[in-house]
Copies of this chain bind each other. A is one copy, B any other.
Amino acid sequence: MPLKTPQQYIESLRDGRVTYWDGERIDDITAHPRFQVPIAMTAKDYDYDDPDYRNIRRYQTEDGGSAHRIYQIPHSEKDLADRVEMMGNSAISTLTTGVFMALMSVKDQVGEVNPQYAANIERMYKYARDNDLRAAEVITDPKGDRKRRAHEQDDPDLYVRIVDRNKDGIIVRGAKLHITAASLIHELVVMPTKGMRQDEKDYAVSFSIPVNAKGVKIINRSFAPAELNPFDYPASAHHSMPEGFVVFDDVFVPWDRVFLAGEVPLASKLAQSLGLWERTGGVVEAARLSELFVGLAQLVTEMQGKEGDPMAQASIAELITYAEMIRMGLDYACRHFETTASGMIFPNTLAINAAKYYYAANYHQTVRYLHDLGGGLVLTLPLESDLRNEESGQYIRKYLYTKRTVDVEQRMRVYNLIRDLTADAYGGWQFVVALQAGGGLVAQRTMMNRTYDMNRAKARALKAAGALPKAKAMAAE
């Protein structure tokens, strides 16, 4: 099966999928204004001939075919580095397809419980890869009352569950929240939201299903209106992706698409398998964004002639620290990778969680430095249309002038990007995304508590305290 072209991708979306947005049921999203930006973003990653990206985007499969690199199973530091490079240059709707990486990383463990599930994972992975499909990570259940477990809720459907099973497959009911790009991709890869107990068997369910399967309904939401001027909104005019509220209204899933159906001990393994790759994506984005912050901070400072101001330099140094610490964490995670039994490698779990946590926990405070440097003009800059209007434009050009080396339009674009990234709809969204994507702060803290080499740290502390017998003290070094 050859790689798709951008146009083929767009056509593939006209498959009867059920999408709602702003009160409207949209039958053909490719013809609807609200979807133009997200479709264009996603389609761009199907441009395998783009001279700038073709080597990053495409790889040769072990079967000799050609596929998008999101499907490449990394086996070396180089593979990981290529993947990170690709991730930094792909749409989120491409990146979510990495959900297959999560599945493949637990395939061996799944196979021990039920070889059929493992075979299903492998088959679906190849099917998606070879058909050049895109997939969504479908994980978070509505959860209802957090004090109660899945089966104790007033409505048993508040976690996705199996309502029936027969020889052909299972019937599932429920909803999943925060499903990025759900309407823009082909396969919904559903995972349990967390570990399940013995009496929650019907909630231990995982599978992949096409977006146009009967009973699947997607309600969309986005921070961005349909159209934005790229001068005023340099980032969000090109980058926005709807979040989907995905409903499974008694959806039939054939057995060969099922990865889990009741084996509770596997639920948490599957649930967690996604986290690492989601957070890796978060750290890749963090590295990109934090470098932008430094560049913007320096530009806005120079454009005002304040590059010699000690306080400005100090604030820029804070932004540099943030960017460098993230970048170094990502570098470390890729170099000190971990390996599955079958030789697939993945970024260092502790490193990714520490770097992601550092990013998330300090994001708000770090943006404060940029806001401090930017000043009020970040908010009050006139629109491009007023710049183009001859009457008002002459004043804007005259009064936003600072010095000969600074072009007024360029200056406006820089302020607009600061606002767009950090102080407008997209920027507001970013604050929450930095914190919540890939699981909130507590999820990352928990993973750090679990994966840190606590025995070594305790032994060293005991030795330093003089509390370790000599023999053990030796070993603690």
Contact = CB atoms under 8 A, between A and B. Distances in A.
Interface string A231-273: 1001100000001110101000000000000000000000000
B221 A417 contact: no
A281 interface: no
A466 interface: yes
A342 interface: no
Interface in A142-156: 142-148, 154-155
A291 B144 contact: no
Contacts of A448: 317, 320-321, 324
Contact of A325 (B145, B329, B365, B440): B329
A351 B326 CA distance: 11
A140 B380 CA distance: 12
A217 interface: yes
Interface in A133-182: 140, 142-148, 154-155, 157-158, 174-175, 177-178
Interface in A97-138: none
Q: Which among A385, A423, A440 has the highest number of chain B CB atoms within 10 Å?
A: A423
A348 to B, nearest CB: 9
Nearest to A157: B398
Nearest to A451: B320
Contact of A401 (B158, B335, B361): B158
B144 A403 contact: yes
A213 interface: no
A368 B234 contact: no
A221 B398 contact: no
Contacts of A305: 144-148
A226 interface: no
Contact of A376 (B299, B426, B436): B436
Contacts of A275: none
Contacts of A464: 234-235, 292, 417
Interface string A341-375: 00000000011001101100101110110011011
Nearest to A445: B317
A3 interface: no
Interface string A455-475: 011111110111100000010
Contacts of A400: 142
A382 B429 contact: no
Counting contact residues on chain A (CB < 8 A from B), the size range is: 35 or more
Given A146-B304, A320-B449, A395 B458 contact: no
A448 B317 CA distance: 6
Contact of A402 (B145, B157, B316, B392): B145
A25 interface: yes
Contacts of A184: none
Given A371-B436, A410-B462, A158 B399 contact: yes
A148 B336 CA distance: 41
A417 to B, nearest CB: 4
B441 A372 contact: yes
A396 B20 CA distance: 12
A140 B292 contact: no
B321 A20 contact: no
Nearest to A384: B23
A338 interface: no
Interface stretch (A41-49, A59-67, A187-195, A307-315): A307-315
16 contacts: A23-B392, A217-B392, A231-B466, A234-B467, A295-B462, A296-B461, A298-B461, A311-B442, A317-B449, A332-B332, A364-B368, A372-B441, A413-B462, A414-B462, A416-B465, A417-B464
Given A217-B391, A371-B435, A417-B465, 19 more contacts: A25-B392, A155-B401, A219-B396, A221-B380, A243-B379, A245-B382, A295-B462, A309-B310, A314-B442, A318-B445, A321-B354, A324-B329, A325-B329, A361-B368, A364-B367, A365-B365, A372-B440, A379-B436, A414-B461
The 7 closest A-B pairs by CB, nearest first: A23-B385, A295-B461, A295-B457, A317-B445, A145-B305, A324-B354, A328-B332
